[in-house]
A and B are shown apart, each in its own frame.
Chain A
Amino acid sequence: MDAHGELLLEQFRQRLPLLAQLETLVLQRLQDALSHQHIQVTAIDHRIKKEGSLAGKLERKGAKYKSINDITDLLGLRVITFYTDDVDKVAALVAQTFDIDWSNSVDKRKLHELDSFGYNSLHYICRLPAGDADAALCSIPFEIQMRTALQHVWSTINHDTGYKSDVQIPREYLRQFGRLAGMLELIDDEFSRLRNSLAEYRRRVQTLVASGQLDEVSLNADTWESYLQTRPFDRLNRRIAAVNQAEIFPTSLGAFLPVLIALQMNTLGDVQRFVDSNADDAYLLAVTELGVTDLDILTESVGLQNLCIVQALKMGGGRPAVVRILNAVSGFSDNEPLAQSIYDHAAALPFMNNK
């Protein structure tokens, strides 16, 4: 390394404490910005360049750098996203949060010829905006790379197998890397398309639920969530709670979906009819049990659990059906005695005697 390189290396050593401060500050700003915009990423990697790595760079092309500020990747961050669309979102956020040196920033995605595939990543050279921190910190450039998880996998494998090898890689293997890059680009696009389609589907379901066209909506995890947003069990829960002037504590009703499907419900229309036709009997069953206690705290599952038990008994499932429901929603096994107790209470109710 020549004297100029040695000088830059010494400047780097002196700058290390500042770089450490900058790393903490930039990472925090980035995490805050992503969190504020509700953008989920798989990881944010960050590092200060190792002295050995910088020395190698200076030996190879030290003359290119007039001052230490011309080396823009002494601090580097990498944001890895789930979706290709999110790379652009993150980029917009980075541009809002930091000052970008556009002349040195590169969108590798746009550098490929139409028929070539390979490294796809967006590299922004940034600085903290003036006034955001000490002037010394704001003057130091840093690099933020943005790419999807699949792009990251490709470039990491490509880097490990290609650049670090001492031997020349044959053309056929390089071509295979290119083909894989093309395939991953397609998969990235498909994931984005799938996400957009799912978002569209959810919007459509929410519209159907809101307009009451429930027979057109199949019952599945997504539609169940949408349906629950209409608070279909609140009325029954409040009725049951009124018996002991109980408070109602929120809980997840996700565990009931397989029970409803087992009870032969295929659409949200089926679920709505199940609620409408069983609510009075479910209320009576709940009251039969709760009415003789002074329990004044319930969860939001109490109405739905009783609805399911009533429906199962009306379908002739008997005590084994009650056991299956309790096993599915209660989290413990050996529900036979409990099912027997519920069955005994239900047996005295009109819905069990008017079949």
Chain B
Amino acid sequence: MNTTIKEQNGELVTYFEGRLDTAAAPQAEKDIQPLLASNGKNIVLDCNALEYISSSGLRLFLTVLKSAKSKGGHVFITGMNNDIRNVFSMTGFTNLFEFR
């Protein structure tokens, strides 16, 4: 699992690559710290290369969302495959995020 953050057009774009499961979550949590420290910038979670997401991954996304919202920022998710969309739908997470 790789997590890369790049600043593009004033937004923090985070690229997730691989499987965001319980085993990968602790490292990913460290990798996303710059997002939590950001000051109200919009955040894009790019899931084009994300193969799988577990509850730990959903909690990670939720942490990013809560942090961004508290600073007036938005979190957009892009590029989810059908399996991940299905996870978002069956858990009701589709209501929480904005999608591109």
A249 CA / B95 CA spacing, docked (Å): 11
Contact of B87 among A253, A295, A329 (CB under 8 A): A295
Interface of B is mostly: helix
Q: Once the chains bind, are B90 and A295 in contact (CB under 8 Å)?
A: yes
Known A-B contacts A299-B96, A330-B95; the reply to A286 vs B54 at CB < 8 A is no
B49 within 8 A of A: no
CB-CB under 8 A from B2, the residues of chain A are none
A301 CA / B90 CA spacing, docked (Å): 10
Encode contact with A along B52-84: 1 for CB under 8 Å, 0 otherwise.
001100110010000000000000000010100
A136 to chain B, nearest CB (A): 38
Known A-B contacts A294-B54, A297-B55; the reply to A331 vs B93 at CB < 8 A is no
Return the chain A residue nearest B80 by Cβ.
A332
Q: Once the chains bind, are A332 and B87 in contact (CB under 8 Å)?
A: no
Contact of A301 among B58, B62, B92, B98 (CB under 8 A): B92
Q: Once the chains bind, are A295 and B58 in contact (CB under 8 Å)?
A: yes
Interface residue tally for chain B (C-beta within 8 Å): 22
B85 within 8 A of A: yes
A342 CA / B94 CA spacing, docked (Å): 15
B93 to chain A, nearest CB (A): 6
A74 to chain B, nearest CB (A): 35
B85 to chain A, nearest CB (A): 5
- Find residues 306-351 in chain A having any chain B CB closer than 8 Å to their own CB: 326, 329-332, 337-338, 341-342
B70 to chain A, nearest CB (A): 15
Return the chain B residue nearest A248 by Cβ.
B92
Q: Once the chains bind, are A341 and B55 in contact (CB under 8 Å)?
A: no
A83 to chain B, nearest CB (A): 27
Q: Once the chains bind, are B91 and A330 in contact (CB under 8 Å)?
A: no
CB-CB under 8 A from B54, the residues of chain A are 294-295
A239 to chain B, nearest CB (A): 14
Residues of B within 8 A of A (CB): 54-55, 58-59, 62, 80, 82, 85-99
Residues of A within 8 A of B (CB): 246, 249, 251-253, 255, 286, 289-290, 293-302, 305, 326, 329-332, 337-338, 341-342
Known: A251-B92, A293-B90, A329-B95. 15 other contacts (CB 8 A): A289-B86, A290-B90, A295-B54, A296-B55, A297-B55, A297-B58, A299-B93, A299-B95, A302-B91, A326-B89, A326-B94, A329-B94, A337-B85, A338-B86, A338-B89
Closest 8 CB pairs of A and B: A299-B92, A332-B99, A330-B94, A302-B92, A301-B92, A301-B95, A289-B90, A251-B95
